[in-house]
Amino acid sequence: MSPESENVLPAFDADAIHAGNFALGIDHEKVAREVDTLMARMSLAQKIHEIRGHGPLPADSLWCAGGDEELGIAAWRMVDGPRGARAGVATAFPVAIARAATFDVDLERRVGMAIGLEVAAKGGNVLLAPTINLLRHPGWGRAQETYSEDTHHTGAMGVAFISGAQNHVLTSPKHFALNNLENTRFEMSGDIDARSLREVYLRHFERCVVEAGAASVMTAYNKVNGTYCCQNPELLQAILRDDWGFRGFVESDWYLGTRSTARALNAGLDIEMPAPYRFTDEKLEEALASGRLHEDTIHRNARHSVYQKVAWQLEDDAVAGKTRPDAARFVECDEHVALAREAAEKSMVLLKNAAELLPLERTGDTRIALVGDLADEINLGDRGSSMVTSTRVSKPLDGIRAAAGGATVTHFASDADLTGLADFDVCVVVAGLSYRDEGEFIPTAQQEAEGGDLARGGDRESLALPAAQRDLIERAATVARRTVVVLQGGSAIVVRDWIDDVEALLMTWYAGREGGLALGRVLFGDVCPSGRLPVSFPRHDDDLLPWDVAALSVEHDLLHGYRWLDHHAVAPEFPFGFGLSYTRFDLSELRVTRSEDEDASGGGFRCRVGVHNVGARAGAAVVQLYVSCSDSRVFRVPKELRGFGRVELEADGRATLEFALPDADLCFWDVETESWQLEDCRYRFRVGSSSADLPLEATCRRADGSWESVVYSPSPQ
């Protein structure tokens, strides 16, 4: 292909992602002056009011904090959360891990923008999302709320969501930090060395703060290295403010999220939510009188909040310079519903498709058996703080019927007699998990939702399906001629027991209000599946790192997910980044060029790769770039994702994807100098369609601070 005719697409188009993000246009000098004038008029009592929530329950679905009528300071009005506005009815999008499977940052920006707009229309001004805790283990109960096991991928999706949402409201990425175990979240300590903390568990938080200008951050319930996050000066001051230059406010997680008065305030917790338990008048007076707390600290913390109010031009009915949008026009509007469907369609991951059973035929004589109670249930995900209620939700049965054309679809409940399945051309089993099996662990709320029966939620001890779901698949597969399994769930599922008995497997996550319709369109081929796994699916539970849902102290290091599997040479069932399609792509012509003035931090590489749709139909390729490093003086994991890009191509269509790889992405955190270091060593750039399929490779050695020429394998034509 001649360079002139090349269709070059950036894998991550930073300008497009950040368009309209209000935080990135703030004139900080001007704001600082205004804030100082305003703060000078505030009494201690007014400042104290600014650092705490208004009460234990939300008012009209809004969690309020601070504000002062006399001074013209509006209150914060916070709304959850990661899959839609948790206030009355709203568009229920697919859960975050489903959207993560799209590997589509532009889509995630648009979803963030839609959720932000709905929150604003509900009268909110802070969106309590995204959840960006790394999936250290896929058994985490809130896996569905976050993006992935990979720090680069989580960072890119988080940045896109925040920049989209911050077109309308402030965001609050959460939970800072190491909140990745549910059942013991109020007590456990994530113990970690400085390097793993910076490189793996905080890198994506750093991007959300530095690149996307996240306007606030929510602390985690748990401890890090023995100190509760809400009172951890290392996290809240040294890293967040001193290193990353964070100018936003820090609020606690709810109820049990603030563990002390003076200690938390001194460490940098600005606002106690949702009500004063530790920041009561009495406790503050006591702390001031004892000298453990100074008025200056209250001033500083209140200023963090007031600063963002001034910066975001907050008024009672306006934020980001815009008056409150009309809820009747924007909440669950056609555009948002279409976006929810697009996200659901792009998120489904085809994991197995023997003999190209999918897409299904829809001619008049095709008989399809649809098996399982979940086929006819609304299953939007957990019922904790991220729960969203929509006016209409399409279930798998609705969507499959809508897309089936002339084919007949007969539904069998889970307890039905399945012996007749042999008479059908194909059997589709809908199986998986629900809020009963995984989710945020809030026993009382879940009990209410269940009408008094205890729903466990929380972490999953095992990644296998519950016995009844496994049994359903096995009973159907034994009788049916050909079986497709449609899996619902918020994270990795072990399928080893039954995968060889079925022809096809589609992972559909919790697909949101349009999930059923999206499923029908994917199964019948109106949509070509393009999702990729943002989490490794292991063969067996014990292939992953040790997992104890009752642990009170958990050692974190550089290895988990695909990094762990690679290091221990354990093959997964389905690797990170994997997903099949109804078409095929060829990747070729990897070209790596060096530029010394890539960005302010120095140089970097540009990696271009040619993508060609060699199948018979349109589809989307997800191309991934991994970096390895040898001859390092420190331990390096076998490889790490450092770029990904998604491109839609017609049959025989071609494009060139370009990845920007700044030197910052090649650095390691040096514990001696407490800084990022770019080492002299050999860097390997590998490109392919999953973490286990990387056919293109280039290496470049850095010696005495200079880069040698790039060596390719295979050599370019």
Residues assigned a catalytic role: 253
Window 301-340: residues binding ligand BGC (CB under 6 A): none
What is the spatial distance between Cα 457 and Cα 446, in angstroms, rounded to a whole number? 8
Does position 174 interact with ligand BGC (CB under 6 A)? The reply is yes
Instruction: Compute φ and ψ for 595, nearest 5 degrees.
Output: -135, 135
Does position 624 interact with ligand BGC (CB under 6 A)? The reply is no
What is the spatial distance between Cα 161 and Cα 177, in angstroms, rounded to a whole number? 19
Does position 253 interact with ligand BGC (CB under 6 A)? The reply is yes
Decide: helix, strand or coil at residue 682.
strand
- Residue 350: CB atoms within 10 A of its CB come to 21
What is the spatial distance between Cα 63 and Cα 43, in angstroms, rounded to a whole number? 24
Closer residue to ligand BGC, CB minimum distance, 146 or 189: 146
Closer residue to ligand BGC, CB minimum distance, 93 or 668: 93
Output the 3-class SS for 100-161.
HCCCCHHHHHHHHHHHHHHHHHCCCCEECCCECCCCCCCCCCCHHHCCCCCHHHHHHHHHHH
Report, in Å, the least distance between residue 262 CB and ligand BGC: 24
Nearest residue (beta carbon) to ligand BGC: 385
Does position 150 interact with ligand BGC (CB under 6 A)? The reply is no
Report, in Å, the least distance between residue 494 CB and ligand BGC: 27
Size of residue set near ligand BGC by CB under 6 A: 7
Distance from the Cα of residue 479 to its chain's centroid: 39
Does position 128 interact with ligand BGC (CB under 6 A)? The reply is yes
Report, in Å, the least distance between residue 276 CB and ligand BGC: 16
Closer residue to ligand BGC, CB minimum distance, 254 or 585: 254
Closer residue to ligand BGC, CB minimum distance, 61 or 469: 61
Q: Quick one: angle between helices 295-311 and 28-40, nearest 10?
A: 130
Binding pattern for the stretch 8-47 against ligand BGC, x by CB under 6 A and - elsewhere: ----------------------------------------
Q: Which residues contact 71 (CB under 8 A, 6 or more apart)?
A: 38, 41, 42, 46
Does position 441 interact with ligand BGC (CB under 6 A)? The reply is no
Contact with ligand BGC (CB under 6 A): which of 80, 108, 270, 658?
A: 80
Closer residue to ligand BGC, CB minimum distance, 128 or 284: 128
For β-strands 711-713 and 619-630, DSSP reports them as unpaired
Residue 346, CB-side half-sphere exposure with 13 Å CA sphere: 27
Does position 254 interact with ligand BGC (CB under 6 A)? The reply is yes
Instruction: Compute φ and ψ for 541, nearest 5 degrees.
Output: -55, -45
What is the spatial distance between Cα 421 and Cα 410, in angstroms, rounded to a whole number? 10
Q: Which residues contact 458 (CB under 8 A, 6 or more apart)?
A: 141, 182, 183, 438, 439, 440, 441, 549
Closer residue to ligand BGC, CB minimum distance, 257 or 604: 257
Closer residue to ligand BGC, CB minimum distance, 80 or 108: 80
- Residue 40: CB atoms within 10 A of its CB come to 7
Both tokens of 333, joined, read: 């509007």
Q: Which residues contact 382 (CB under 8 A, 6 or more apart)?
A: 141, 142, 144, 145, 435, 438, 439, 440, 457, 490
Does position 514 interact with ligand BGC (CB under 6 A)? The reply is no
What is the spatial distance between Cα 278 and Cα 280, in angstroms, rounded to a whole number? 6
Report, in Å, the least distance between residue 133 CB and ligand BGC: 10
Distance from the Cα of residue 236 to its chain's centroid: 22
Does position 251 interact with ligand BGC (CB under 6 A)? The reply is no
> Which has the closest alpha carbon to 132: 140, 122, 123?
140
Question: With contact defined as beta carbons under 8 Å apart, do 384 and 457 qualify?
Answer: yes
Closer residue to ligand BGC, CB minimum distance, 81 or 610: 81
Going edge to edge, which strands form the sheet with 76-79? 63-65, 76-79, 126-127, 170-171
H helix or E strand, kind and range, residue 99? helix 96-100
Closer residue to ligand BGC, CB minimum distance, 224 or 565: 224
- Residue 635: CB atoms within 10 A of its CB come to 11
Question: With contact defined as beta carbons under 8 Å apart, do 165 and 214 qualify?
Answer: no
Does position 68 interact with ligand BGC (CB under 6 A)? The reply is no
Does position 385 interact with ligand BGC (CB under 6 A)? The reply is yes
Closer residue to ligand BGC, CB minimum distance, 217 or 409: 217
Report, in Å, the least distance between residue 208 CB and ligand BGC: 15
What is the spatial distance between Cα 429 and Cα 414, in angstroms, rounded to a whole number? 9
Report, in Å, the least distance between residue 678 CB and ligand BGC: 36
Residues at the site binding ligand BGC, with contacts judged by CB under 6 A? 80-81, 128, 174, 253-254, 385
